[in-house]
Structure 1
């Protein structure tokens, strides 16, 4: 194995350790996050406590035809058809606590910035990452480590619905382009689709000040991916968490179903594009969970300890098709960076990062 260094302003930064002989097929990584989507809905669909509560939906009975069935397996298929028809059959999903399979956060803040820091760096940093303020992340993310490597430089992109992502990725230091919040597509060679999306984003304002609606994030990402063919992509969708904070269980479910459709769109594009087909792993997760009853489901954080409970899904050429795991296992969000680097045939250089997820590796 050979260690590579980057000379930067008079000092050296270790980038990675490259395995002498790459044994994986993964050449590209799509890391997808969705804010605040509970594992309860992922594995059992619409919650019987909430689905017809008049305090949480616009009209009583409005959700039953679309999302309700007495069989939890059928309910989850109604809510997330791609996830349960394709991802679960060709990939793997971790975190079904109903079956004893667990995924948790290591940070104790249990809200968004600390969660994304953990996902992107491989460790919690409660001492410094303890608010959602727009402060540049002092930690180097897996995206930045890749950006420093010649093989990935200029081929790392990030997109997010939340306007804090440029700070989480620390675009000032990393140089990674981040389209987030109400950013628009920039440049002299905008596609017609990007021009339309820009115009619509000016005209359509969602209900939140710092979070745009997910369709803008998704379609900005898709257009950029088609044009630039990046090797590492972060796409961070946001609607489920904000609808939950607003106590709108109907909109929460609708946004989850739309998120599932975006996963389908992404995976079908990946598998229909020669540079990505059978060379790309897609990892999907969430930054935190949330409360489990009517009094707490709108929130998360230290006061709601069960918001540490999350999930991880993945599909790609190196990861065995294990479906929804039912073994008694414990994983953490912090395992994602080292797993991604090992899938790429690299060793993760971040100090203190968690171990890799063995089930995702060949």
Structure 2
């Protein structure tokens, strides 16, 4: 009888523990819901690391010195951001921490390394690690408000090498903008149409606004199961050196024309009282197997005036053609990208190995990107 009694007591205690535990869990869930506390599964951690090897076929690959030991010329590269260093070189480490609640959330996107430094080159007082940093509030299914620093909504290419098909970047992307800091409102009109309005600091001044000037952004987007198209606008005073407003209009689109063939297109025009640029590029891509794809970027780019960008441009009214052929081989989370690139410029801007100037530069690189 004693054994039976102990067994019944044990079952009773176990049942009571289960009931109390369930009651506590239910009460805790109700309390968390009332207080807006979300589950740990709403936290995300993602990012990438990348490195590459690059060499010119008909240009300098090292620093040249004169008889006195002073440098007179350096490795040649197109005036296009990222992947321009010779030999074995580093890209960046990118770590993105995010939290997505039912109503609110944030993104903290940090970058380390040369590519990351270029991405935030104009941040006043920056330690060159913050790529994006913003909080957002889902007011309802149709409206989201975002405050902070986010990567630009203009253009086809982005800062992260894991999100681009080509490893090197286009002239249109490199001439910017890169990032904005401000307040934006994203609208979902229906399943296909979206919109965005924003008020922002001058372009790429992401830490704070030292000039008391602001710019405005807008976007109208359409998407379906086959692809998307976005019309982007930017207007406002971007430079402390000029009271003239910058106007930029940009169209970015891409469509799956079949299960294996994709075609992207980007065109942009930017003008600040005669200073600016315009261009267009197509991005055909062919998926040949589950692990390999090949794609081309064919870009035309023309500078207008260069009053505010003398360090990174070729000159007034100079035209550039960029043909970049990229392979993409995926092994798990690792992406290997061999790439051939030809830049042809309307002026003799490149130095060859004999220190003679010519109008074209051909190069090769192979990059490795690990995305998580």
Whether these two folds match at TM > 0.5 is no
TM-score (norm 1): 0.25
Name the structure where strand makes up a greater proportion of residues.
Answer: 2
TM superposition score normalised by structure 2: 0.25
Structure of higher RCO (CA pairs closer than 8 Å, 6+ residues apart): 1
